[in-house]
Chain A
Amino acid sequence: MIAGSYWPALVAAGLVTYLTRLSFIALLGRFELPPLAARALRFVPPAVLSAIVLPELVLRSGELDLGWHNARLLAGAVAALVAWRTRNVLLTIAIGMAALWGLQAVLGR
């Protein structure tokens, strides 16, 4: 079972999450977040999320695949369009999954 060995990592991940939440509350608001850090936080979601998503879409067993037969890439593009137009997370997931199933059926995976 692969998950067993991940317990220490998950506990540590929980701890760092808790400590960021506790940080300023425990410090009684005695000092504030440096402005540079506050500005940097805005770029964390786009940077982290696209660093995860892009390889998910264009890599197939470690190789770059930008072809028309890459169902995940096409379904991802459809989902991005839905996300851009509607800003609705659940709708994006629903249409993206439908697109993936449709494309897999058409392209034969």
Chain B
Amino acid sequence: MLPSQYTRRREFLTGCRDELPILLGVAPFGMIYGLLALSAGLSHGTAQAMSSVVFAGSAQFIAAQLIRDASPAGVIVLTVLVVNLRHALYSASMAPHLRALRPGWKAGLSYLLTDEAYAVAITRYLRDAGRSEVSPYRHWYVFGAGITLWAAWQWSTAVGIFVGARVPASWSLDFTLALTFIALVVPALKDRAGVAAALSAGALALAAHRLPYKLGLPLAAVAGVVVGLALSGRQPAARREGAK
């Protein structure tokens, strides 16, 4: 392909287009978040603002629930940090591709680096990996994918808030939070270490639910991760011994 065929505009629009199929899954989520944030007691403005200030689905769900339970600020921030640590992985994986960009681009694209934008962006870079010549405007592609997701997230949050304000509390829509987490946690239980992490964290959260400041949650989460690590560390070692 000739270099002249690469343009900023074209990269941007291709990024937008490649993000579209993912929106089908994201939009209902944003609506559920909007519904749930209201039933957790957040004001319309706070619920909407969280979608651009935090801009991370599962962390927003959790923060809404912690606010409902009147948790202290420190526990909210700590829990959001733990839940969002995976973004450091995305950052590490994108870093080599964005190395040559100006600081302003790096700062902007980092803000847009959600699960869904990362998935689309990294797929593009991996697709290009074998090529001798690549577009010099690929960051516009990443921008297009990221901003499309951002816009969809803001709109779907707004729709959720609009609908949520008209749904009576007797519908128990707060239960969608537990259901969302069930749907997310079950596929994560791929092996014994994952199951053990979930079970030990769940059991400890129950045992520690009377602890002040909602400290039971971060405590249980860290304990679950340690249990998972300990078990996963031993598995390959045991296999190696068995092979001898």
Contact = CB atoms under 8 A, between A and B. Distances in A.
Interface of A: 1-4, 6-14, 16-18, 20-29, 32-33, 36, 38-59, 62, 64, 72, 75-76, 79-80, 83-84, 87-90, 92-93, 96-97, 100-101, 104
Contact of A21 (B65, B113, B221): B113
Contacts of A62: 209-210
Interface hub of B83, B183, B200, B216 (most chain A Cβ within 10 A): B183
B136 interface: no
B110 to A, nearest CB: 4
A43 B182 contact: no
Given A2-B70, A13-B76, A47-B224, A25 B94 contact: yes
B62 interface: yes
B224 A50 contact: yes
A25 B224 CA distance: 29
Given A21-B90, A59-B209, A49 B185 contact: yes
Q: Is the interface of A mostly helix, strand, loop or mixed?
A: helix
A50 B95 contact: no
A74 B64 CA distance: 24
Interface in B162-201: 171-173, 175-189, 193-195, 197-201
A72 B179 CA distance: 10
B184 A49 contact: yes
B217 interface: yes
B97 to A, nearest CB: 9
Contacts of B90: 21
B192 to A, nearest CB: 12
Interface stretch (B1-9, B46-54, B124-132): B46-54
Given A45-B184, A53-B181, A14 B225 contact: no
10 contacts: A21-B110, A25-B110, A41-B86, A43-B194, A47-B223, A48-B201, A62-B209, A76-B178, A80-B186, A93-B179
B80 A16 contact: yes
Interface string B203-237: 11110011000001100111111011100110000
B187 A54 contact: no
Contacts of A13: 53-54, 59, 63, 76-77, 80-81
B25 A50 contact: no
Contacts of A48: 62, 79, 82-83, 201, 217, 221, 224
B106 interface: yes
B244 interface: no
Interface hub of A48, A59, A84, A96 (most chain B Cβ within 10 A): A48
Contacts of A76: 178-179, 182
